[in-house]
Amino acid sequence: MIALLRIELYKIFHRPRTYISFGIVAAIALVIQLAMLADGKNFIGFALQGVSEQFDIKGNVLNGYLITYLILQTLLIHIPLLVALVAGDALAGEASIGTLRLLLTKPITRPGLVLVKFTASVVYAMLLLIWLAIIALGLSVLLFGTGDMINLKSDAFVMLLKDDVLWRYFAAFAFAGIAMMCVAALALLLSVFADNSIGPIIGTMGIIIVLTIFSTLQLPIFDAISPYLFTTHMIGWKGFFDAPVPYDAITHSAIVLLVYTILFVATTIIVFNKKDIQS
Amino acid sequence: MAIIAETKELTKSFGNTIAVDKLSFSIEEGDIYGFLGENGAGKSTTIRMLLGLIYPTSGTAYIKGQLFNNSKRHLLQHVGAIIERPDMYGYLSGWDNLRMFAAMSFKNIPKSRLEEVLEIVGLTGREKDKVKAYSQGMKQRLGIAIALVHSPDLLILDEPTNGLAPQGIVEMRNLILHLSRDHGKTILLSSHLLHEIEQIASKILIIHRGKKMVEGPAEQLLDPNETLVEVQMEPDDNIARMIKATQWHGSLTGSGPAHLTFKMHPGKIPGLNKWLVENGAKVIDLHSKHSLEAYFLSLTNDSATPHRTV
């Protein structure tokens, strides 16, 4: 299994398009950082318009922690798309270029191949998140320094002390890892039904976008199903920037995501194990 | 000779279509087993079942005497295959492709073995090039190197000359013969072209619409004494009637006012021609083909055909 995983990772990281994802993440983060460098003070003034009338806010408000939060909010949809680019290609891409049949003439079990593909996709997703952490958090802190973080919500704002922020980001990135694992599992599941990778990639994004609408639209009809949708729980990382941290809700969300992940991977294995390879 | 691979009543249906119908055959050690059939006859489906890519609807496949199914994929260590096109990772070098697929055989394959198979297929010096820069022939060769690298007992080559230029076809044929004669490989060679198979196969199996039509040692199927002679002439009922009283009647396999067919030794053809002319037949065309060729052509021309085993 380790040898197979090494091969999968070798293939992923020797493909030029893999690095496009890393480039996109860096580009988005840099654009936001440059915009904030240029016009951040106005942005903060506008954002804190209502708050500053009642509170006297001093210190480095436009700090690296706040910028990182803004970047993460912006990349909410992009990161799953970038994960789907690789996971959705895992089986369908092999079928499309004809290497799937060559792979399966080797003494590899089909469940083994699915697990290796899934693990490799997860490794890629984790590396993408680490890259995001370096670019978004690391560079923002370098450019803007640190300070107390203001988390502006629709109905409240949370003030987090400077020394109490960094661990929250590490926890949030770890949670995002679980969420991206779920996205990778979904993309892999769709990948098993297709003979080209466009379908699974678009399919994954379509599902995430539609379910996110169900999760966020506060209509009674969606309220009933919202708690059961994995997209509702994908944004659980935001809980780490609340005070106090809603650990129960975060743990619940993480468990839901893990259950969905197991469900998606198990279904992939069952379907792939029964599939005739005709590509 | 030990049997390397075998199928028993192997059947595959896709909906109401039967792609392979109760196909049984066995490949013995050292064979170059020619697997012949027109496009869509069921060759690739059969090969995919033999490799576990497609699940049979019924029937069984055996590799080295052991029943092969999804839970016994380790048996594929004994098999190397290229199926239809030699598709590989174009963005990687030939060496990387070879190294990766070698690792998937779960055998400890030294670097020298990789170099050896590249030498065998004639790709030494080009292994560092990206596969996307390879010609079709080079890809086929790399495909064979990948199939060979773990020293399998059986090499399955499905239409290995597809897309090759005439020179590439000759080189591929020589390579297959080299693998058989000098490396002792047992080879299952599938093709829709009879002349490709008949030049190198030791045994031949012809399938048509998923069914076995004929199987046997090549030298018997390609028996030079079994030449088929087809005569076309201007319509003349008398010739067919007259011929019944001659020595040629025993060789006659079909007749009509404007055509006659015979099965005979090629040495007798001039005599037949002479008799026809002397008896007033206005011959338009007389040509011969060996019986297997005629038989295969009759299949591909979709005419009714008997099932025979030599």
State the Cα–Cα distance between residues A70 and B136, nearest whole angstrom.
51
| Burial environment of residue B114 by CB neighbours within 10 A (0 to 12, 13 to 18, 19 or more) | middle
Interface A-B, measured as beta-carbon pairs within 8 A, has a size of 80
The pair of three-digit structure tokens given for residue A239, joined into one six-digit string: 């809980």
Bridge partners of A151, per DSSP, are A158
A99 contacts B88? CB cut-off 8 A = yes
pTM for the structure as a whole: 0.85
Helical spans, DSSP H, in chain B? 43-50, 94-103, 111-121, 136-148, 166-183, 194-198, 218-221, 237-242, 269-278, 291-300
| Lowest mean pLDDT across A193-207, A259-273, B192-206 | B192-206
Residues in chain B: 310
Owner of token pair 């893999």? A18
Q: By C-alpha distance, which of A120, A13, A173, A112 is closest to B92? A: A13
Domain ranges in chain A? Answer: 2-272
Contacts of A108 in chain B (CB under 8 A): 73, 104
How far apart are the C-alpha atoms of A247 and A77, rounded to whole Å? 24
Angle at B240 between CA B231 and CA B294, to 5 degrees: 35
Whether residue A14 and residue B96 make contact (CB cut-off 8 A), yes or no, is yes
- Choose among A7, A16, A274: nearest Cβ to B103: A7
- Nearest-CB residue to A105 (from B74, B76, B91): B76
The rounded distance, in Å, linking the Cα atoms of A42 and A235 is 28
B3 neighbors B27 (Cβ within 8 angstroms): yes
More confident residue, A26 or B221: A26
Contact criterion met (CB below 8 Å) for A102 and B89: no
Q: Supply the pLDDT for residue B304.
A: 41
Tell me which of A95-99, B57-61, B223-227 is least confident. B223-227
What confidence score (pLDDT) does residue B308 get?
Answer: 47
* Confidence band for A143, pLDDT divided at 50, 70 and 90: very high
In a 10 Å sphere around its CB, with 0-12 CB exposed, 13-18 middle and 19+ buried, how is residue B216 labelled? middle
Section A168-196 average pLDDT: 95
Lowest mean pLDDT among A95-99, A123-127, A247-251, B301-305: B301-305
Q: Cα angle vertex A196, ends A190, A201, to 5°?
A: 50
Nearest CB to A10; choose among B73, B100, B106: B100
Q: How much is the mean pLDDT over chain B?
A: 87
Q: How confident is the model at residue A194, as a pLDDT?
A: 92
Q: How confident is the model at residue B216 (pLDDT cuts 50, 70, 90)?
A: confident
Helix axes B94-103, A2-13, angle to 10 degrees: 160
Average pLDDT over residues A205-223: 87
Question: What whole-number distance in Å separates Cα of residue A20 and Cα of residue A198?
Answer: 16
Give the model's pLDDT for residue B42: 92
Cβ A133 vs Cβ B81: under 8 Å? no
- Nearest alpha-carbon partner for B269 in B229, B240, B242: B229
C-alpha A101 chain-centroid distance: 31
Q: Letter for the amino acid at B203?
A: K
